[in-house]
Amino acid sequence: MTSDSFLQRWSKRKRAAQQLPTDSSETPPIIADTTKSPAQVTTTADTQEKPLTDADMPSLDSLTPQTDMQPFFSQGVSEELRREAFRALFKQAQFNQCDGMDIYARNYNDFKPLGDIIPHDMQRFFAREAQATAEAESAIPAPLPSETTTDTSTQPTIAPDEKSMK
């Protein structure tokens, strides 16, 4: 392998491709089709250049799933007719079905509780959590009664020693 990085190699190739001479005289010549007469060639060209219009389109009632929709994309066809054709096509039973795998196919406003269909693993997880919480609560020692009273007015006072008074 060379010590050049990928970007350096890429840059060299790109510069080399830009420096290649482009000779326009090397384009292949157009060969005329000798099987057709010049009159046939011009009529074929005229029919290809003429864009289809709304009048050339089949009726919307005759559209089937096998109908070629490509003519509806012609420049001469109005946007309204194009939209109506696709609407008529997709109203047919073959295309008017949800597969059920779409995330929007379900009604999430009508929530039904899971109930008994909660998986066993989830039930075990919640049981372990409840058991751990119960063990943690039982491990905390109960406070002593003397620690709970903080009112000093009810506690007995201790008399000072006589020795300390002298």
pLDDT of 54 strictly over 70: yes
pLDDT of 47 strictly over 70: no
Residue 133 placed within a domain: no
Residue 146 placed within a domain: no
Closest CA to 95 of 59, 57, 56, 69: 69
Residue 85 placed within a domain: yes
Those residues with Cβ within 8 angstroms of residue 90's Cβ, 6 or more apart along the chain or in another chain: 96
Amino acid 166: pLDDT = 54
- Answer for the pair 65, 89: CB distance below 8 angstroms, yes or no: yes
pTM above 0.75, yes or no: no
Amino acid 18: pLDDT = 86
Residue 66 placed within a domain: yes
Measured torsion, CA atoms of residues 125, 131, 132, 136, in degrees rounded to the nearest 10: 160
126-131 mean pLDDT: 94
Q: Which domain holds residue 61?
A: 45-90
- Answer for the pair 81, 106: CB distance below 8 angstroms, yes or no: no
- Answer for the pair 23, 48: CB distance below 8 angstroms, yes or no: no
Residue 78 placed within a domain: yes
CB crowding 20-31: b at 16 or more within 10 Å, else e: eeeeeeeeeeee
What backbone torsions phi and psi does residue 120 show, to the nearest 5 degrees? Answer: -60, -40
Q: What total of structural domains would you count in the chain?
A: 1
Residue 119 placed within a domain: no
CB count within 10 Å of CB 108 equals: 7
Supply 166's token pair.
Answer: 């002298």
Residue 166 placed within a domain: no
Residue 69 placed within a domain: yes
